[in-house]
A = this chain, B = another copy of it.
Amino acid sequence: MRKYVSPSLLIIFFILSAAGHYAHWPATLQFIISAVAVIFVAGFLGKATESVAHYAGQRLGGFLNATFGNAAELIIGILLVREGLFDMVKASITGSIIGNLLLVLGLSLFAGGLKHKIQRYNISLAGMNGSLMIVAIIALFVPAIFLQTHVLHEEDRTALSLVVAGILIASYLLWLVFSMITHKDYLADVTEAGKGADNGAAAETDSIALATAGGSHELPPAWSKGKSITYLVLATVMVAFVSEWLVGTLDTFTERFGLSEIFVGAFVVAIVGNAAEHSAAILLAMKNKIGASVEIAVGSSLQIALFVAPVLIFVSHLFGRPMDIVFTVIELAAIGVSVFIAKSITQDGQTNWYEGLLLIAVYAILGVSFYLV
């Protein structure tokens, strides 16, 4: 990851990629250009996020990054729902969740852990994240098991999906109230622990925070607050476009190499579509801002599960083609095992390179399984 992204190369590859997409250049050429463009815009996004995080604190910065990152996924999801491609939507939701929880988080922990022996972040946030993940998997698992053991009328099936989706959206909005307003300091980053005096967990990590702060001697970011935010929005939009252009070239590959739709949806789309989160999270982890990395990776998958997925269900009703909340058995299994290993690894608020590697190992097991099916 270069520290300085060349603005001219960024713009050139972005325009080339757009030209390739709209002028229908050969798929292989489109693919190569878009892939290079993704690397540049993702680098740009990473730098903008880092700059915003400097002003906003690690967690808010991470949240902003996750949200902008998922805006692209939401838009792509709406387009797929409009065309009735429900299996592809669910595969890509599955892929986004496991991609963030296993690959993004895994690479962040691994890269950060190679540079820093032990990385710590707020243990209360780790616990809350774990509980939210459990709620997300319960919300997907309960309708599936009830519908597999009992026959329901079509309207009851729809009602069940809508109610569960509504509960998830309400839970997510209240989570924002909790984490951003009522308990902001309780979940504060370790490096800001000194501020949160009435917080037992924060006090405990105080000495670490001082040590970290003393060791890093960060330079002020190159951009002002306003410029950083503008660039963050701009970079996110660019990532969304380039990702979509890149995804557009994948159909050809799917056919040419005989890959299944579920594998492409759950792995290729998820890896490419989350390039922004990838680069930002890994960059922050290597700078020992593991709290922001976790916020991006875990926060992003929670946002997909608790907000993007249920919103798509409501959107499908607006289009008059109701999509239910029932995922396939292997999608549920993939999300379930991802949640369990991610929860086990994040819950102590301490990370190291080997924990990152374990997440990648589980991702590899799932990848091979989806590939062979």
Chain B residues closer than 8 Å to A340, beta-carbon distance = 134, 138
Given contacts A178-B352, A341-B134, contact A142 B369 (CB under 8 A): yes
Given contacts A145-B329, A152-B372, contact A355 B117 (CB under 8 A): no
Q: Name the contact of A149 in the complex, choosing from B168, B182, B186, B329 (C-beta under 8 A).
A: B329
Given contacts A178-B353, A183-B354, A353-B178, contact A361 B135 (CB under 8 A): yes
A294 within 8 A of B: no
Q: How many copies does the complex hold?
A: 3
Q: How large, as a class, is the contact surface on chain A? A: 35 or more
A357 within 8 A of B: yes
A373 shortest CB reach to chain B, Å: 5
Given contacts A178-B352, A337-B142, A344-B343, contact A164 B330 (CB under 8 A): no
Contact B167 A365 (CB under 8 A): yes
A163 within 8 A of B: yes
Chain B residues closer than 8 Å to A334, beta-carbon distance = 142
A128 within 8 A of B: yes
Q: Could you tell me the distance between the alpha carbons of A366 and B163 in the complex, rounded to whole angstroms?
A: 11
Q: Name the contact of A152 in the complex, choosing from B139, B167, B364, B373 (C-beta under 8 A).
A: B373
A208 within 8 A of B: yes
Q: Could you tell me the distance between the alpha carbons of A182 and B354 in the complex, rounded to whole angstroms?
A: 10
A130 within 8 A of B: yes
A118 within 8 A of B: yes
Given contacts A131-B341, A164-B368, contact A146 B353 (CB under 8 A): no
Contact B344 A164 (CB under 8 A): no
A111 within 8 A of B: no
A141 within 8 A of B: yes
A333 within 8 A of B: yes
List residues 184-198 of chain A with CB under 8 A from any CB of chain B.
186, 198
Contact A362 B178 (CB under 8 A): no
A218 within 8 A of B: no
Q: Name the contact of A352 in the complex, choosing from B183, B341, B369 (C-beta under 8 A).
A: B183
Contact A182 B141 (CB under 8 A): no
Contact B355 A131 (CB under 8 A): yes
Q: Could you tell me the distance between the alpha carbons of A183 and B170 in the complex, rounded to whole angstroms?
A: 42
Chain B residues closer than 8 Å to A357, beta-carbon distance = 171, 174
Contact B118 A186 (CB under 8 A): yes
Contact A131 B365 (CB under 8 A): no
A-B complex: 6 closest residue pairs judged by Cβ atoms? A178-B354, A138-B337, A156-B372, A131-B344, A146-B369, A145-B333
Q: What is the interface of chain A, defined by CB distance below 8 A to chain B? A: 117-118, 120, 123-124, 127-128, 130-132, 134-135, 138-139, 141-143, 145-146, 149-150, 152, 156, 159-160, 163-164, 167-168, 170-171, 174-175, 178, 182-183, 186, 198-201, 208, 328-330, 333-334, 337, 340-341, 343-345, 347-348, 350, 352-355, 357-358, 361-362, 364-366, 368-369, 372-373
Besides A149-B330, A160-B368, 13 other A-B contacts (C-beta < 8 A): A117-B182, A118-B186, A138-B365, A145-B329, A146-B373, A149-B328, A150-B373, A152-B372, A163-B368, A164-B368, A175-B354, A178-B352, A178-B354
